Structure 1
Amino acid sequence: MGEKLQFTELDQYLFGQGTHYDIYRKLGAHPVKEGNQEGVYFAVWAPNAQGISVIGEFNEWDEQANPMTKAGPIGVFETFVPGAKIGQLYKFFIIGMNGEHIYKADPYANESELRPGTASRITDIRDFKWKDGTWMKNRQKFDETKDAMSIYEVHPGSWRKHPATEEDEKGFYNYRELAVKLAEYVKDMGYTHVELMGIAEHPFDGSWGYQVTGYYAPTSRYGTPQDFKYLVDYLHRQKIGVILDWVPAHFPKDAHGLANFDGTAVYEHADPRQGEHPDWGTKIYNYGRPEVKNFLIANALFWIEECHVDGLRVDAVASMLYLDYGKNDGQWVANKYGGNQNLEAIEFFKHLNTVVLGRNHGTVMIAEESTAWPKVTGKAEDDGLGFSLKWNMGWMNDFLEYMKLDPYFRKFNHNKMTFSMTYAYSEKYVLVISHDEVVHLKKSMLEKMPGELDDKFKNLKAAYTFMFCHPGKKLLFMGQEFGQLREWSEERELDWFLLGEEKHRDLKDFVRDLLKMYRKYPALYGMDGDPFGFEWINADDGDRSIYSFVRKSPTKRNNLLVVCNFTPVDRPDYRVGVPKKKQYTQLLDENGMTSKKVFKAEKQECDNRPFSFAYPLPAYGVAIFQY
């Protein structure tokens, strides 16, 4: 129970400026004591409402029982309801500007009723006892430009499921069960972080959480807000970071959500050319309105500061930056200079990233941005957007196009695998194979590969080796590490039964070897953003479709030489040029970690280098050497 609350003049001022960073402690529903009465303080922003009352299980949903009073000119309504209790459902009953009757869930609610119900639930999120102090202290030293980062992207509802029952037709794991099982798996594999999809409350399972109605509420599908905090806390105690998908680009039109909140456009632009995505059937936030910016920035801080999350992956950034994104002529409005850049969204990103990262050292803000917009990861003061990292969609498209090809045609597309190095240092990148690449008839990673089943596994091992040795952080969607055959569906759990088959187990073990090697050798991550950290040995061997390059360590010790063969041709005496006349110890081949065979460089020219050595390179073979 907190002490008495009220929406003060200072609250009004800060909220009106868009800088009330813990506004979620005031708006919403908060169990408090007024005098000797226990109850709940409710507050909601609805600037054009004629009147509002709070209705719920505490007053039999009576629209007259608990009217709210307007606290000042900004349009916040508040009231204290004695006797209202944690666990009870509620909504706001709003009389709109034109007298219409509107029933809305609380935009700042910390818990929601399980869908298909749409009411908010009173809860107290402050009563959780955190035990992740060591992680939180160490987090401040984390530096994404110098530290390893390999992310396992997970949709909690379909990673694993219980058998369905009549009471529980979906068989979801609770956050607490998920914590234990997921931590065990992720730790064994060697990922540094998990990225969780669909955590903020959303009405429709099939949206995967990208159409949010409860920005401040962990979805009740998997338990309570306390259960969610337990998941984060437990993962932290197992030394695993947690990133959430976050969706500030748009919101759905569901009647109980943010759309047309008080009968007028409150969170969205009133003009549909600015306020709607025709393709997605969703509303676009009005980033020029301080209270709307405040809602979103405080929400990012809520997940990071209140729920201890280590970073946010910001969805659909391009759709926010371009006013004409997904629109035809006549469907959008130019900015004041006549251009298609959304000036308010640019300002929003600079504000957001500066505040979040400035207040929370060691956290990350990751942009999913698919265009060539400049300086996405540049500093805000240098006219950048201020993100920590950006998804490398260009690399991903080229890489997948190349890997899908019949090996015979790869020689004509050799530059698809080398082109990414021409822009590798223009941003700070994450290489991603996300859920988007394994749905909508795009096939799973294994099924994208050419050839018979045996060939598919060999191709995929070579692909993953190339990916893990290429500069950039790593992200792999769940199931792709063991060769899921079917496309992903949120309706069912991953096909774990495949691990009963040797080939799938072998692929999983190989990915685990790559992940462990990635973390062990700073050459693979310590100089991702430094052109001196990468050097081609041979980028032009198109006829044989072989790539060789060096990754250098920041300490100059334990540098790595990497060779990948993307054809089914055996090269029993393949010769590779090397930077120095040293000993080269093989750490990994297509069978995983190896017995550390040693090769001595000799004075024989190869790949335009004076020194080289020869070794057997099998069909679809890969090799990582340490020197």
Structure 2
Amino acid sequence: MHPYKKGDRKGILVRAFLSGVEKCEVVDSSQENGPRYEMELIHEDGFFETLIEDRDQVFPYRLRAEQRNCEIRQFYDPYSFLPSIGDSDLYLFNQGNEHRIYEKLGAHPKTIDGVPGVSFAVWAPNASRVSLVGSFNDWDGRYHPMRSLGASGVWELFIPGLEKGEMYKFELRAKNGDLFLKTDPYGCYFEAPPNNASIVFDHSAYNWNDQSWMAKRVNHQALDQPMSVYEVHLGSWKRRWEEDNRPLSYSELAKELADYVVDHGFTHIELMPVAEHPFDGSWGYQVTGYFAPTHRFGTPDDFKAFVDYMHQRDIGVLVDWVPAHFPRDTFALPGFDGTCLYEHEDPRLGAHMDWGTLIFNFGRHEVKSFLVANALSWLDRYHIDGLRVDAVASMLYLDYSREEGQWIPNQYGGNENLEAIAFLREANSLVHTYYPGTLMIAEESTSFGGVTKPPSEGGLGFDLKWNMGWMHDNMSYFEKDPIYRKHHHNNLTFGMLYQYAENFVTVFSHDEVTHGKGSMLMKMGAGSISDKSQTLRALYGHMWAYPGKKLLFMGSEFGQSEEWNYDKSLQWHLNEFKDHSGISCLVRDLNRVYREEPALAYTDFDSQSFRWIACWDADSSIISYVRTSPDGRSKILVIGHFTPMKREKYRIGLPSAGHWREILNTDSEFYGGSNAGNVNGVNSEAIEYDSFPQSGEFTLPPLSTVMFKWEG
């Protein structure tokens, strides 16, 4: 409805497109039993029009339609409602500073002027038309063309009467006339593949019960607190083989996974990407619905209940976030409005060489708003405790995985992606500003400096960084036959040269058990399964004793023998055998010791807490080091012996005189080992050794890591 004047004719003009309707009237709803104004059918497809010549001001109205089956319905016209997005919102969005744009764009149930419905908005600045389509209008783009909100590039429309659960898409016409359908970039719920419609969802209905966790999170997730992470792929952790091998739902996972995590002593879980993705084989890393928890295990509220339950069990929840690239699925972000909107047009900037995906245009303000808001939405809507940012290295460098001539230098002639670096700094700063205590974790495999330093000091602003170098070096060492390890002793020691340059997480992630690499157990350089189990236990002992937070991928905690498969359950039956259940028992005890001993978890980033005792005995494949609490009262001596022979009376220097009690031995019979060790501990002797005035003689079990606690 709008004022109209042409020649001698003037009044209020109303138009409507209503397919299958015989007759339509405009009803004045501003008064009871208000007047009706009959509309003229001016096109047989259902286009109606009337000029109300006795009125000169628009008024509240409804449309009264009589369908061909004689059914009559009366409803509000979507175009009678003013836009629900303010100019300031649009200004900040175009500026790249609307941090909660996910509350404006997308689909949002709301009530306007007392009328319930759903508000829709989408950014498509280069489209010549955008229409909302769904089952409510027979997927016909002529029904609900959206309104352009000027230079902002945003299109908007409020549809009265729609409710939660409606499926919808956007129909766009490009400037060249091409017509195509797109899902909502800000959609928070999607139907199952091969279909891909967005589903209207109301986030206001869920009531959280994790207030206790949220109140203590800042202190609980401080960098001087224990952090041991269990990395999980929800679709393959456990499946119901008796029910067509289906994965567990969010509800089923909550109880069973929480029980398991608590039993094993992990402090956090990290979920491989749960954002919506069409292809299971991408493991979630090719995202098409950045704001939507995947439908595979339940609704968005079911995912909230999953996180809520974890928090009530004192388990932190981290999720993988993928801002580095997105897939080429035509129904999603690529060429969104007929142009390269979210991606770079030049493939030297916009095409990811390794994964066949597209790279976000981090320098475009609205794209930055999209990504920053996406990070914040997971923390806001789902109470996520931290984001592990995938493939950071590929974001930092313009020549990442590219040959000469395949990339464009930055404005200074260098290979750094300055726009991506600025985006990461801003995203990390805003996450910490809005949600103190939330962790930002980088998967970054290069020597880029200052990943975990604040932006004010020239860093990227992450809290933690995966220690890919330590992972690679130690895996390379333990994969070798013990007879050759003496030639690679530096693999055990080199990492300490850079250990305190960043805040590291010591990891064995899913990347180590995929793409033909084999499982953690089967990669161990040993013959029998028992020997492999013994070797893996020694490696885990060293991992938990070494500085840095901890992360272990599911299945590795009990020595799964098969390489991880995304559509199969873990090999839980292996826990019937000691070679596997023993590893599981060890992980429980390692997590307990890690949490309880002040010299370990609480000093992960304190360079003064670590000191080599002896790292010179390559021929014997032995290393020893001590971890010390800041007050000096707690000291943990760690001895790693990585050959299959037992050594008696092996002398090691000691930093303090007194009794050293054995508190953990990876060769214990409890874990399936030979039970060689130092039952009564070791008393120091005033014999100078390893540059220490005190020393002691130790029994070193084969293929083992042993921890001793100083008792003075």
The TM-score normalised by the length of structure 2 is 0.86
Match of 1:461 in 2: 537
Q: d(CA) in 1 for partners of 2:241 and 2:223? A: 43
Q: d(CA) in 1 for partners of 2:561 and 2:467? A: 25
Match of 2:11 in 1: none
1:618 counterpart (693, 697, 701): 701
Q: CA deviation at 1:202?
A: 0.4
Q: d(CA) in 2 for partners of 1:19 and 1:444? A: 45
Structure 1 contact 398–417 (Cα < 8 Å) conserved = yes
Match of 1:239 in 2: 314
Match of 2:630 in 1: 554
For 1:555, the aligned partner's letter is: D
Q: Residue 496 in 1 paired to residue 562 in 2? A: no
Match of 1:401 in 2: 476
For 2:532, the aligned partner's letter is: K
1:26 counterpart (78, 100, 104): 104
Structure 1 contact 274–323 (Cα < 8 Å) conserved = yes
Structure 1 contact 12–72 (Cα < 8 Å) conserved = no
Q: CA deviation at 1:163?
A: 2.1
SS of 1:481's equivalent? helix
Q: d(CA) in 2 for partners of 1:74 and 1:485? A: 55
Assess, with a 3 A threshold, how the Cα gap between structure 1 residues 142 and 5 changes in structure 2: closer, same or farther. farther
Q: d(CA) in 2 for partners of 1:622 and 1:313? A: 30
Assess, with a 3 A threshold, how the Cα gap between structure 1 residues 435 and 467 changes in structure 2: closer, same or farther. same
Match of 1:99 in 2: 177
Structure 2 contact 442–464 (Cα < 8 Å) conserved = yes
SS of 1:43's equivalent? strand
Structure 1 contact 571–617 (Cα < 8 Å) conserved = yes
Matches within 5 A, 1:402-481: 402-451=477-526, 452-481=528-557
Matches within 5 A, 1:38-187: 38-163=116-241, 165=243, 169=244, 171-187=246-262
Report the count of equivalent residues. 622
Match of 1:13 in 2: 91
Q: d(CA) in 2 for partners of 1:371 and 1:615? A: 39
Match of 1:224 in 2: 299
Matches within 5 A, 1:190-589: 190-451=265-526, 452-589=528-665
Q: CA deviation at 1:38?
A: 1.9
Q: CA deviation at 1:224?
A: 0.3
For 1:529, the aligned partner's letter is: F
SS of 1:151's equivalent? strand
Assess, with a 3 A threshold, how the Cα gap between structure 1 residues 186 and 565 changes in structure 2: closer, same or farther. same
1:169-225: CA deviations, max 9, x gaps? Answer: 550211111011100000000001000012000010000000000000000001000
Structure 2 contact 539–705 (Cα < 8 Å) conserved = no
Q: d(CA) in 2 for partners of 1:236 and 1:554? A: 30
Q: d(CA) in 2 for partners of 1:19 and 1:332? A: 29
* Deviation >6 Å, runs of 4+: 593-596
Q: CA deviation at 1:557?
A: 2.2
Q: CA deviation at 1:164?
A: 6.0
Structure 2 contact 509–552 (Cα < 8 Å) conserved = yes
1:94-144: CA deviations, max 9, x gaps? Answer: 111211111000000110101221110011112110000010010122354
Q: d(CA) in 2 for partners of 1:551 and 1:420? A: 16
Q: d(CA) in 2 for partners of 1:545 and 1:31? A: 64
1:27-83: CA deviations, max 9, x gaps? Answer: 000111222432110000001010111111221212111110011311000001122
SS of 2:107's equivalent? strand
Structure 2 contact 535–704 (Cα < 8 Å) conserved = no
Assess, with a 3 A threshold, how the Cα gap between structure 1 residues 555 and 176 changes in structure 2: closer, same or farther. farther
Q: Residue 600 in 1 paired to residue 683 in 2? A: yes
Structure 2 contact 394–400 (Cα < 8 Å) conserved = yes
Structure 1 contact 29–42 (Cα < 8 Å) conserved = yes
Q: Which moved more, 1:597-606 or 1:100-109?
A: 597-606
Higher relative contact order (CA closer than 8 Å, sequence separation 6+): 1
SS of 2:629's equivalent? coil
Q: d(CA) in 1 for partners of 2:385 and 2:296? A: 22
Q: d(CA) in 2 for partners of 1:172 and 1:476? A: 21
Q: CA deviation at 1:614?
A: 1.5
SS of 2:152's equivalent? coil
Structure 2 contact 272–283 (Cα < 8 Å) conserved = yes
Q: d(CA) in 2 for partners of 1:4 and 1:511? A: 60
SS of 2:220's equivalent? coil
1:358-411: CA deviations, max 9, x gaps? Answer: 221111100000100010111101111110011111111100000001111111
Q: CA deviation at 1:5?
A: 6.7
Q: CA deviation at 1:4?
A: 8.8
Q: d(CA) in 1 for partners of 2:168 and 2:273? A: 23
Larger-Rg structure: 2
Q: d(CA) in 2 for partners of 1:204 and 1:276? A: 20
Q: d(CA) in 1 for partners of 2:219 and 2:494? A: 33
Q: d(CA) in 1 for partners of 2:166 and 2:571? A: 38
Structure 1 contact 58–83 (Cα < 8 Å) conserved = no
Q: d(CA) in 2 for partners of 1:239 and 1:609? A: 42
Q: CA deviation at 1:558?
A: 2.3
For 2:623, the aligned partner's letter is: Y
Q: d(CA) in 2 for partners of 1:397 and 1:199? A: 27
For 2:575, the aligned partner's letter is: L
For 2:270, the aligned partner's letter is: E
SS of 2:252's equivalent? helix
Could you tell me the percent identity over the aligned residues? 50
Assess, with a 3 A threshold, how the Cα gap between structure 1 residues 216 and 5 changes in structure 2: closer, same or farther. farther
For 1:253, the aligned partner's letter is: R
The TM-score normalised by the length of structure 1 is 0.97
Structure 2 contact 83–157 (Cα < 8 Å) conserved = no
Q: d(CA) in 2 for partners of 1:100 and 1:366? A: 42
For 2:599, the aligned partner's letter is: A
1:283-312: CA deviations, max 9, x gaps? Answer: 100000011011000110000122100000
For 1:471, the aligned partner's letter is: P
Q: CA deviation at 1:604?
A: 1.5
Q: CA deviation at 1:523?
A: 1.1
For 2:353, the aligned partner's letter is: P
Structure 1 contact 58–85 (Cα < 8 Å) conserved = no
Structure 1 contact 160–493 (Cα < 8 Å) conserved = yes
Q: Which moved more, 1:615-624 or 1:459-468?
A: 615-624
Q: CA deviation at 1:156?
A: 0.2
Q: d(CA) in 2 for partners of 1:50 and 1:87? A: 29
Q: Let me know the Cα RMSD of the aligned residues.
A: 1.5
Q: d(CA) in 2 for partners of 1:225 and 1:595? A: 53
Q: d(CA) in 1 for partners of 2:99 and 2:473? A: 41
